[in-house]
Structure 1
Amino acid sequence: METGGKTGQSAAAAGFYEIVARVLRLPRVRPEDDYFELGGTSLGVMQIVWMVEERFGTRISLTDFFDAPDLEAIADLVEEGEPGGAGAGHQ
């Protein structure tokens, strides 16, 4: 599954884009895409939140999706919560 992300993106960001594409049943998503403009729903967000926590141990919230201007902003939260990332996660 292609993610269409930028060169050198972290494994966490690439994994996040894969999860989003899978939930949306799209071949790929791009960092600049808006989740809801792609047809995403609140139920889909709940699936993504669970899958991200299972895969990366990082907690993101439903609110993060409403507040984020694009998928890259949410991927940044996933990266921050990853061991060795810039932050301790977003709860």
Structure 2
Amino acid sequence: MSILVEIIQGLGSIVLGIINVYIWVIIISALLSFVNPDPFNPIVQFLYRITNPAYMFVRRFVRTNFNGLDLAPLIIVIGLQVILVVLSALLRAL
């Protein structure tokens, strides 16, 4: 049974790492939106392709545009932080 717990904890750690990387991608994409980068840059296109599905999901349920400021990245980061806390607590409880 101990091996199964270690496998689950290892996979959970990988998921936590992926969520942390995605949080940073969201933050970088939000900061790039302030400087209006070249839309044909491959890095910018990659960031938009990765983040736009999450933005659209949040915008479908919550009005995120307040006086020209999009709060979708903030809502996503807060939600992902909550998931990180819950998941890490579950993994520690094993």
Whether the TM-score (by the shorter chain) exceeds 0.5 is no
Report which of the two has the higher share of helix: 2
Q: Which structure: larger Rg?
A: 2
Report which of the two has the higher share of strand: 2
Scaled by the length of structure 1, the TM-score of the pair is 0.30
